[in-house]
Amino acid sequence: MTQPSAREKVVSKLPASLRQQLKIRAAQHRLDIQIAVEQAIHAWTALAASPAAVDVSGASSFATFLPPGQWDAFKTIASARDVTLTQGLAQAVQLWLDMNPSPEVIRPETTRRIIVCNQKGGVGKTAITAGTGEALAEDPDILRPVRVAKQLAAAQLASPETDGSSDALEVENLPGLGLRVLLIDFDPQCHLTRQLGAEPLPLDGDSLTKHMGGEAKGELRDLIVAVDQEHFGDRLHMLPGCNDAFLLDVKLASVRASEKALERALAPLEGDYDVIIVDCPPSLGLSMDAAIYYGHRRDGEAPGQSGTLIVVQAEDSSADAYDMLTTQIDDLRNDLDVVIDYLGIVVNLYDARRGYIATSSLQGWVDIKDPRVVGLVGDLKEQKEAVRMQQPLLSYSPTCTQSVAMRALARELA
């Protein structure tokens, strides 16, 4: 392709709907818009005759950069075909859209399992569970702002006076990932359930705990609820929590192969979803063993598709909790002879203005390398507001810095 520096600016008109479709489709195919327009005009001029007319009512100014001479050649052919430049360009763009359909969402062969964990409470596991699931499920035909997680961490270390927003970093508009996601509220406190506007399951009814303990009263899928269908379509679902999970460790003590109890319970649901994300309790008991085991690498599954996502804060107590959690994971690996991958570390609720403790702790997490930091989410008001409103963050405030960071995290994991 011709280098951008050798291009010439051209100005014409294009209907808003075509311009938007072009913008989305080019992003889906990872192309610059000017390259897409160049390809469109090339394909149109190669036709033996003009295709069907396109409705160009309401067309407004549209500028792009093309290789030298291409626009002049286009004008000559448009004149020979007796069509206006606006009509010719609209036909060319429509032709390109027809030749480059939206790519199919790539679905994993094995349902991915992401175990969001840390036995330390208050680090924001629930917010990360919800935000990651929301970002994975967003509409692939709509562009949303995304910032690369690794760049974000590096920038915060370079600019410790900021609050975690790093507005100077480049933000790229990308299509949603369009995956089918199931969120599991595995915490007896039911924070995920309430934050997303649902009610915890009643103690006298069916629940995940009862299915894991061999006391199921019905089908687990009958308990699943959709999350904000207007924003996520029918791609984001949740299995609400129940307070009976406080008794789960006691129940699991008498269950055969208790570490496999969560996998057995959720197995019937896996065919309906691309990704299942488990919001774990702040615990190191048998229920955590079952959750961690659920993320183990299965036969034929590629490394890094499933595993544990550890949420921490940039402060000392998170480091102590991290050591305890990784010890438990290593013990399970050895005792059960399974591979449990680390998907990464998410540093949550970060605000470098808190000083040396925050910045040095972040440096400490970055220095670990394996697992590496895959997300950095600032301690900003939008998440708290979304919780208060019982709405998903990415539909409550889709362009806020925290939403941008959640999308970056999702792409690190995708």
Note the pLDDT tens digit of each residue in 364-400.
999 998 999 999 999 999 999 999 999 999 999 999 9
pTM of the model: 0.90
For position 386, what pLDDT does the model report?
Answer: 97
Tell me whether residue 105 is in a domain. no
Whether residues 56 and 167 fall in one domain: no
Between 85 and 6, where is the model more confident?
A: 85
Q: Is the dihedral of CA 132, 196, 113, 24 positive or negative?
A: negative
Note the pLDDT tens digit of each residue in 320-329.
889 999 999 9
Q: Which residues are CB-neighbours of 75 under 8 A, at least 6 positions away?
A: 85
Whether residues 276 and 308 fall in one domain: yes
Tell me whether residue 222 is in a domain. yes
Tell me whether residue 104 is in a domain. no
Whether residues 95 and 129 fall in one domain: no
Whether residues 58 and 128 fall in one domain: no
For position 163, what pLDDT does the model report?
Answer: 52
How many whole angstroms from its chain centre is CA 80?
49
Report whether pLDDT(168) > 70. no
Q: Which of 163-167, 283-287, 307-311 has the lowest mean pLDDT?
A: 163-167
User: Whole-angstrom Cα distance, residue 319 to residue 48?
Assistant: 68
255, 213 Cβ separation under 8 angstroms: yes
For position 157, what pLDDT does the model report?
Answer: 54
User: Whole-angstrom Cα distance, residue 208 to residue 220?
Assistant: 7
For position 120, what pLDDT does the model report?
Answer: 85
Mean pLDDT of the chain: 92
Tell me whether residue 282 is in a domain. yes
For position 148, what pLDDT does the model report?
Answer: 60
Whether residues 367 and 328 fall in one domain: yes
User: pLDDT band at residue 2, thresholds of 50, 70 and 90?
Assistant: very low
Last residue of one domain, picked from the residues 99, 124, 147: 99
Beta-bridged to residue 62, according to DSSP, are: 12
User: pLDDT band at residue 5, thresholds of 50, 70 and 90?
Assistant: low
Tell me whether residue 290 is in a domain. yes
Percent of the chain with pLDDT over 90: 85
Q: Which of 6-15, 52-61, 153-162, 383-392 has the lowest mean pLDDT?
A: 153-162
How many domains does the chain contain in total? 2
Report whether pLDDT(151) > 70. no
Tell me whether residue 378 is in a domain. yes
174-185 mean pLDDT = 97
Whether residues 270 and 358 fall in one domain: yes
Last residue of one domain, picked from the residues 99, 120, 138: 99
Note the pLDDT tens digit of each residue in 17-28.
999 999 999 999
Tell me whether residue 107 is in a domain. no
Report whether pLDDT(48) > 80. yes
Whether residues 93 and 154 fall in one domain: no
Whether residues 50 and 128 fall in one domain: no
Domain extent for 59: 4-99
369, 355 Cβ separation under 8 angstroms: no
Note the pLDDT tens digit of each residue in 223-239.
999 999 999 999 999 99
Whether residues 252 and 172 fall in one domain: yes
Whether residues 155 and 37 fall in one domain: no
Whether residues 182 and 241 fall in one domain: yes
Last residue of one domain, picked from the residues 72, 99, 126: 99
For position 1, what pLDDT does the model report?
Answer: 42
Tell me whether residue 77 is in a domain. yes
Report whether pLDDT(171) > 90. no
Whether residues 125 and 83 fall in one domain: no
Between 314 and 312, where is the model more confident?
A: 312
The CATH number linked to 331 is 3.40.50.300
For position 314, what pLDDT does the model report?
Answer: 87
Q: Which of 167-176, 202-211, 298-307 has the lowest mean pLDDT?
A: 167-176
